[in-house]
Amino acid sequence: MAYSFSGGISLKTENKTRALPTKPFAEPALVAVPLSGCLPAVSAGDFVDIGTCIGFGKTEDCPPVHASVSGTVVSVERRPLDKGGEDTFVVIKNDCRHTVVSGLDPISKPLWEIKPEEIIARARNAGIVDAGSGKSLASILRAAVGKAKRLVINCTESQGYESISYRVMAEQTEAVIKGAKLIIYALGLRKADLVIEEKKDKLIAKIEEHITDKALVDIKQTTSKHPISVDNRLIYAVYGKRVPLGGSPLDAGYVVIRPETAANLYRALSTGMPMIHKRVTVSGDSIKTPLNLIVPVGTSVKDIAELCGGTKKRFKRAVKGGVFTGYAVGENAVIEKTDDSLLFLSSVKAERSGCVRCGKCIDACPVGLTPSLLAAYGEKGLYSEGLSLGAEHCIGCGCCAYVCPSGIPITALIKKTLKEGRTEDEQA
């Protein structure tokens, strides 16, 4: 049985990258590694190896950052972030020698001899970040101690172009399952579920070959409708549990991570290597050669486009994330630990016109809101009224804006209502 939910959108576009093996890209001339709020541990002129700590934080929410290539630090500078604000970036000139830092400390003890605290500490020291939640794995695990009841590996991809979770499960099956078992042990859980969309029979068969104890690790299949990949929707669809408003799956007893995160944890323990690479799907209607890549963190959008043969004439914008929830970036933007896909798209959205009261946004909303009305309140500055109609329940999935025949940026207007309405409440 495939678990599902009301509303949502089923895309009919063909995913051209799902069958493509992941290829490494280790030769960008420069990388600009964002420190994500950490303090720089290197200066211009320093030589770094792959895995050298280049930024350190004081809390688990701010795990250390490591060099993704070997070479010379060109600069430590402030740069604007994709979504606004600034961060410190360490720019490294790649010497292409792939020199790995000495002193990596793999843990070779049997699982039962490893203390749970060792696993959490290794997750932090390796700088592992989960792309789904955008949080450090160490902070996720620390918060889950004594509170979580089940681990969920969210392998779903519902925005049409992404293939990273699929490729990780196909290529790193054993690492994902072993990483899941490490988390089960660290948190004292009884079970983990690998949640994947239906009709992926070959992949599911391969995963089942690697599962030796179905009482410990099981597979659950879901619909492929968007936004099944949003953690809160997945928990409701599969387990029938509603995540409290403003809460996370942990509030319902579930720890949810992506398969790449589990594989990174296993690699950190078995090899000592921190998180220095990111798997990313490069696709869209305006890139000449779609690829699944493993790239050093800090690789630029421009370098990735060139590796994929460049863009087509109709190219208009590069987008990080999916077609529903992504955001436009420039060619100097870089791949971060939270990025799963990079799309090169033409401009296909209809020109903006007035709402025609078609109701498509209402049918598509997976949480039962009236998006058109919420958007109208947001556009007119009636933020408190929007909050009173449930704007806070919006999960930002983008279904409403995607189906709107009038090209109204419904999701953005609802987000504006949320931001401004909360500000008004705080000032009241």
| Statement: residue 214 has pLDDT above 90 | no
- List % helix, strand, coil for the chain (3-state, nearest 5): 30, 20, 45
**291 located within any domain:** no
Model confidence band, residue 428 (pLDDT cutoffs 50, 70, 90): low
Report the alpha-carbon distance of residue 161 to residue 226 in Å, rounded: 12
**CB neighbours of residue 427 within 10 Å:** 6
Which of 90-99, 191-200, 346-355 is the least confident region?
Answer: 346-355
Who wins on pLDDT, 206 or 347? 206
Structural domain total, the chain: 2
Do residues 129 and 265 both lie within one domain? yes
Of 271, 297, 312, the one marking the end of a domain is: 271
Do residues 253 and 151 both lie within one domain? yes
For the segment 252-272, what is each residue's pLDDT rounded down to a tens digit?
999 999 999 999 999 999 999
Mean model confidence pLDDT for the chain: 93
| Statement: residue 426 has pLDDT above 70 | no
Task: Give bridge partners of residue 219 from the DSSP assignment.
Answer: 194
**280 located within any domain:** no
**CB neighbours of residue 255 within 10 Å:** 26
For the segment 379-399, what is each residue's pLDDT rounded down to a tens digit?
999 998 899 889 999 999 999
Residues in CB range of 182: below 8 A, 6 or more apart: 111, 119, 262, 265, 266, 269
Give percent above pLDDT 70 in the chain.
98
Model pTM? 0.94
Report the alpha-carbon distance of residue 419 to residue 209 in Å, rounded: 47
Task: Give bridge partners of residue 369 from the DSSP assignment.
Answer: none
**206 located within any domain:** yes
Of 244, 271, 298, the one marking the end of a domain is: 271
Interior CA angle at 74 toward 70 and 79, to 5°? Answer: 110
User: Could you give the strand order of the β-sheet that contains 65-66, starting from the edge strand earlier in sequence?
Assistant: 39-40, 53-56, 65-66
The conformation of residue 50, written as its DSSP 8-state character, comes to B
Do residues 128 and 247 both lie within one domain? yes
For the segment 137-162, what is each residue's pLDDT rounded down to a tens digit?
999 999 999 999 999 999 999 988 89
pLDDT score recorded for residue 348: 58
Do residues 262 and 125 both lie within one domain? yes
**35 located within any domain:** no
Q: Which two tokens stand for residue 201?
A: 């029979």
| Statement: residue 108 has pLDDT above 80 | yes
**132 located within any domain:** yes
**89 located within any domain:** no
Domain of 374 in residue numbering reads as 360-427
For the segment 271-305, what is each residue's pLDDT rounded down to a tens digit?
999 999 999 999 999 999 999 999 999 999 999 99
The b/e string for 159-168 (b: 16+ C-beta within 10 A; e otherwise) is: bbbbbbbbbb
Q: What is the CATH number of the domain that holds 171?
A: 3.40.50.11540
Of 256, 271, 286, the one marking the end of a domain is: 271
**165 located within any domain:** yes
